[in-house]
Structure 1
Amino acid sequence: MIKAILTGHSKGLGLGIARALLERGHAVLGISRSQCDALELQYPTLLQQISLDLANSASLDWLESSRDLNDFIANTTQLLLINNAGLVSPIGPLGSQATLDISRSVQLNVTVPLAMSALLTQKMQSHQKLRILHVSSGAAQSAYPGWSVYCATKAALDMHAKAVQQDQSPNVTICSLAPGVIDTGMQTQIRETDELLFPNKQRFIELKNTNSLSSPETTGVQLVHYLLSPNFGKLAVDDLRAH
């Protein structure tokens, strides 16, 4: 039995991933600040949801002792962890970045994926297998003005996947995957940012105006196909657009 733990499942790409998994008949435990009632109504036996602000440092302590999490893991041979939740803020040069915004972004973009990966590896039994997918970004490889925190946090995921692969942990495979540019709320936030804070703003406006953004639904299907493929984990860092 395949089960998936998915962060940030209630909207955007996360919702697209959740729907793709559920349509294949795989149980999903979604962890997000908000819930998706419509999806739960459609898949009442397959979808479980935990309302939790993962950007809060106390969230990981709660999850570690969560009965819902432990029960979900118990009856599966193949567990998937999709670290999708993330923040693009703070956007702007160093002088405009609030320390609280930096802390929340590092917590959600880096600490949670790394900690969840370790936590589930420790909770798995010897007969169980774990596939970890970090949702990365092209920003992990290319620096952008105004995105120093976002670029740094996504680069951290890529390096984490490379190092974990070197560990050769039994029954654990990992990949940090850039999914491409997707039409989500994050893109809306980017287009609404003051150009003084994000000089590349016009490029993202043009992507929207020329219909060059992929849909969360289509990308979700492609990402799940990649995650379940027999070749998953051969590359520690990859780009979905190359497939």
Structure 2
Amino acid sequence: MTASHLTLITGASRGLGQAMAEQLLQAGHVVLGISRKQNPELAALAGRAEAAGAELTQWEQDLSDPVAAAARLSDWLKTLDGQRFDSVTLINNAGTVGNPAPLSSAVAAELSLALRIGLEAPMLLTSAFLGATREWRGARKVLNISSGLGRNAMGSQAPYCGAKAGMDHFSRAVALEEAQAPNGARIVSLAPGVIDTDMQVQLRGASAEKFPDRTRFEKMKNEGMLDSPATAAAKVLKYLAREDFGANPVADVRDPA
């Protein structure tokens, strides 16, 4: 019997999320993409990959309302036959850098939005995922897409740094919990390297006055130091497939096997 794998990805409509969804569909995974908008390219690819077992469901879901998103996810997972899948994985990929600026000049609504999307949503979705799949037979994994900025601070990026640092640390806590549970999930908060996405464009276009480190991001682009989304996705998915996935709940895609 062909193995059946279910993968849930937030922020699946563009950038790294889209690239991961594309590669998983090509590999015959059942994919749930959670984004503000659907992606017709993914739908077309899923149609071509049906022979390999691929299935795609796309939700239009605003993660700035994480309570509603988590409830929807929990309800949806409970409608599925957990015995069908050899593995089920949640990839918390969505995030936002907002408008880079010192915290003293942050707009309160924008600051709250960044934290809801970057930290509250991943935590609530992880909770819903773990609860709804507790009795499933297959391997259970949570992959949180973190960042080097969660481990090395940068001025004018307090919301993003804080969200990613929080993601790292809640992953450590959940890893301890799941290690004690039957068929406990393995969880990793993974820095994926530096990727040429819309987020990088936003950082390079930020105000130099409010974001002095802008030149650093311009240099990385000019010197060809950025991975394409497809290249980065391949590295992330290779890490996800490692036998030792979860041994270190806070990791970097460049860590040796």
- Find the residue that maps to 1:4 and give its secondary structure: strand
Identity of aligned pairs, percent? 34
1:73–1:79 CA contact under 8 A, matched in 2: no
Relative contact order (alpha carbons < 8 A, sep ≥ 6): 1 or 2 greater?
A: 1
Instruction: Say if 2:36 is the partner of 1:30.
Output: no
Note the 1:69-88 alignment, pairs <5 A. Answer: 69-72=77-80, 74=82, 75-88=84-97
1:29–1:72 CA contact under 8 A, matched in 2: no
The one-letter code sitting in structure 2 at the alignment partner of 1:242 is D
Measured in 2, the distance between the counterparts of 1:65 and 1:131 equals 16
Correspondent of 1:11 among 11, 14, 18: 14
Deviation at 1:49, TM superposition (A): 0.3
1:90–1:149 CA contact under 8 A, matched in 2: no
Measured in 2, the distance between the counterparts of 1:72 and 1:216 equals 31
Measured in 1, the distance between the counterparts of 2:44 and 2:136 equals 34
TM-score w.r.t. structure 1 length? 0.94
Correspondent of 1:109 among 99, 114, 118: 118
- Find the residue that maps to 1:242 and give its secondary structure: coil
RMSD, aligned α-carbons: 1.6
Match of 1:51 in 2: 60
Measured in 2, the distance between the counterparts of 1:160 and 1:109 equals 13
The gaps in structure 1 that reach 5 residues or longer are: none
Match of 1:192 in 2: 205
Distance 1:24 1:65, change over 3 A: closer
The gaps in structure 2 that reach 5 residues or longer are: none
Instruction: Say if 2:163 is the partner of 1:153.
Output: yes
Deviation at 1:129, TM superposition (A): 2.9
2:74–2:132 CA contact under 8 A, matched in 1: no
The one-letter code sitting in structure 2 at the alignment partner of 1:155 is A
Deviations 1:143-187 (A, max 9, x none): 101001110100001101111112213321000000011000000
Distance 1:61 1:78, change over 3 A: closer
- Find the residue that maps to 1:95 and give its secondary structure: helix
